[in-house]
Amino acid sequence: MTDSLHTSPPTAHHDRPFARDTGRWEKERSRAWRTGHIRDDTCSAACEPVLVHEHTGWGFLAWTVPADGSSPANPHLVTVLAPSATRTQRLALRWLTRRPARLITADARPGSPRLSACAVAVISLLIGLIAISRGFPVSVALPAMLLAPLAVEYLPDRLDARARERVRTVEGAAACRYLQRLGALHTVLVQAAARSERYELRRSAEIGHTLLWDTADLLQTQDTRSASAYLITRERLMVQLVHQVTQILRHTTEDGPAGADPDSSPGRPTDPHPRATRPATAPAPHHAPNPSQQKGILPMCHPEPSHARTLDVYLLFAHDPYYPAPAREINTTVVAAASLLHPRVRQPDGARIHDRLVRGRRPGEIVPLSTLTHELDGGARWPEVGDWEAVTDDLLQLIRDHDCDALTLGLPAIARALVCAGPHSEVRTVDPTTEGHRVYGPADRIEVLVEVGRHLAWAEAGSPLWPGTGLLAPLA
C-alpha cells in the first residue's frame, strides 16, 4: 500500500470560485469591480474587501476579488449550516449573504447611519406629513414616522444575530484551506446522494455534514496547530466516506462488473507494492535479541497483535531515497505503530520505541521520528530506548519484502526537511538570485502532516495498514 504526495487525492470541487460555472464567476467579478471596493496594494488593513458568496448544499464560501484579475485560491471565510436545517434556517443563511447596506459617510466609521435608513426616514416623513394633512391621527402617524427608519437601521443586526445561531463561520487562511478541502469531499457525498435513493448514500451525506459542522465549531475556538490531530482524524473519516460512496456507485452502475476489485476504485492511487500475502506462521527474527536485555522485559512467545492495533497510531520516518519505478522517488514512509512489534524488527528496541510512540497519543495521530527525538531531550536519551537507525532499516526491509503495509511518500525537499526537524524548529531557505529568504515553521510542519494524513486516509480507505503477523506483546 503506497502513495506519493506528488499525486493528491482528487478534490475538484471548490478549488476555485464557481469551479463548475466559470461564467458566473466572471459575472460576479465584473459586478464587484463596478459596485464594490477591490482590495489592492494601496489599501490599509481597515479596508473591507467586497466578497462574492458561493452557495453550497452545506453553507457558503466567501471569495475576495483580487485586483490583478486572477481567481483566488482560497476563500476569505467559510460558513457551515447546521445539519438537518429547516427551510427558515436556510433562508436565514441566504440573508447573511445579502449585499451589505452602504453608509452615508465615505470613511464608513462604526455608528454611521445606513443610506437605506436615511432614505426610509425621508420617505416616511413625506408620507406622514401627507397623511396628517388629510386627517390621519397624529398619535399614529408620528410613531410610524419615527419607527420606520429605526427598524431599517437596527432590525438587520438583530436578524444577523439570529441567523448566526445556526451557522458556524471560520476565518483565517489555514482554517479556511482545511474546510475548503473538507467541503470539496463532502460535495462528492451530496451529489452522490442526490443521484440515488439509497439509504447508504443519504446517510453518508448526513455524516459528512455533521463532520463539517463539528470541524467548523472546533476551528472557531482553536487554531489548526493546536487541533491538528483532530483535524487529521476528521479528514481521514471524510476520505473514507468518499471512497465507500465511490464503491457503491461503481457497483450499482449497469455496465459495471459485478465482482470488481474494491481496491481499483476510480481516483484511488494505484499500488506498485501490492499488499503482502499474510503468512500462516511468523517469520524468523531478523535480529537476534540480546538475552540479557529481553529478560523480564519483553515476552517473546505470546503475540498480541490485536492489542497493539487498537492504539491506531502511526510512525513517520525519512530515509535514504530509493526508486521502485523510473522517476519515482520514495524518501519517507508511514507505518502502523504495531509494525514496531514485528519479530523481524530489532528487539527489544522496536518494542521500546513503540512504547514511546503510543504514549499519550490521540487515535489516528501521525508521529514523526523527529518528534520522538525532540521528546528524548533532542536525542540524548535515544540510547536508553533503542537503536532507531537499525529499527527503521528493518522496517524498510519488511516493507520491501511485503511483510507489512506502509504508505510510501516522495516528499518535496522543504516538506521532508520539516518532518525531519523538531516540532518547534524552523527551516530557512535562501533564493540565490534575489538573496531573499523564507522561514518555514511549526505551522508549515503541521500542514505537511495534515497532507500526509489525507494520503493515509485515502490509502487506508476500506482496509487499515496491516502491521504484519506474529507481532510481539507491547511493553507493560
Report pLDDT digits (tens) over 335-367: 999 999 999 999 999 999 999 999 888 888 899
Q: Output the nine-digit C-alpha cell for 182.
A: 473538507
4 and 408 Cβ atoms separated by less than 8 Å: yes
128 and 147 Cβ atoms separated by less than 8 Å: no
Instruction: Tell me the whole-structure pTM to 2 decimals.
Output: 0.50
d(CA 419, CA 445): 6
272 and 2 Cβ atoms separated by less than 8 Å: yes
Alpha-carbon torsion 240, 242, 245, 247, what sign? negative
When pLDDT is cut at 50, 70 and 90, the band that residue 15 belongs to is low
Residues 48-55, mean pLDDT to the nearest whole number: 78
d(CA 283, CA 300): 13
Pairing of strands 314-325, 366-368: parallel
Question: Which candidate, 166, 164, 7, 178, places its Cα nearest to that of 86?
Answer: 166
- Over 70: is that where the pLDDT of 229 sits? yes
- Return the residue matching grid coordinates 500526509: 452
The pLDDT score that the predictor gives to residue 38 is 65
The pLDDT score that the predictor gives to residue 99 is 59
The pLDDT score that the predictor gives to residue 287 is 41
45 and 38 Cβ atoms separated by less than 8 Å: no
d(CA 24, CA 35): 16
The pLDDT score that the predictor gives to residue 397 is 92
- For every residue of 3-25, DSSP letters joined together read --TTSPPP--TTSSTTTT-HHHH
d(CA 38, CA 475): 61
Q: What percent of the chain has pLDDT over 70?
A: 72
Residues 63-77, mean pLDDT to the nearest whole number: 80
The pLDDT score that the predictor gives to residue 87 is 77
- For every residue of 329-357, DSSP letters joined together read EEEEEEEEGGGGG-TTS-TTHHHHHHHHH
Per 3-state DSSP, the chain is made up of helix, strand and coil in percentages (nearest 5) of: 45, 10, 40
The pLDDT score that the predictor gives to residue 279 is 42
- DSSP assigned state of 226: T
Residues 189-211, mean pLDDT to the nearest whole number: 85
d(CA 331, CA 411): 7
- Over 50: is that where the pLDDT of 66 sits? yes
- Over 50: is that where the pLDDT of 328 sits? yes
Q: What is the arrangement of strands in the sheet containing 77-81, beginning at the earlier edge strand?
A: 51-55, 59-64, 77-81, 167-171
- For every residue of 94-155, DSSP letters joined together read HHHTSPPPPBSSSS--TTPPBHHHHHHHHHHHHHHHHHHHTT--HHHHHHHHHHHHHHHHHH
Q: Output the nine-digit C-alpha cell for 203.
A: 446517510
339 and 288 Cβ atoms separated by less than 8 Å: no
Task: Please name every residue paired with 170 in a beta bridge, in sequence order, or none if there are none.
Answer: 78
Rg (CA), the chain: 29
d(CA 152, CA 274): 66
- Over 50: is that where the pLDDT of 306 sits? no
- Over 90: is that where the pLDDT of 394 sits? yes
Q: What is the pLDDT of residues 364-382, one digit of tens each?
A: 889 999 999 999 998 899 9
d(CA 458, CA 8): 9
Cβ–Cβ contacts within 10 Å for residue 104, how many?
13
The H-assigned helical ranges of 195-227 are 199-219
Residues contacting residue 387 through CB under 8 Å, at least 6 positions apart = 346, 349
Q: Which helix (H) or strand (E) holds 407?
A: strand 407-409
The pLDDT score that the predictor gives to residue 388 is 94
Q: Output the nine-digit C-alpha cell for 26.
A: 466572471
Q: Which helix (H) or strand (E) holds 460?
A: helix 442-460
Asked whether the bond before 49 is cis by omega within 30 degrees of 0, the reply is no
Q: Output the nine-digit C-alpha cell for 214.
A: 463539528
Q: What is the pLDDT of residues 26-46, one digit of tens each?
A: 887 777 777 666 655 555 555
When pLDDT is cut at 50, 70 and 90, the band that residue 263 belongs to is very low
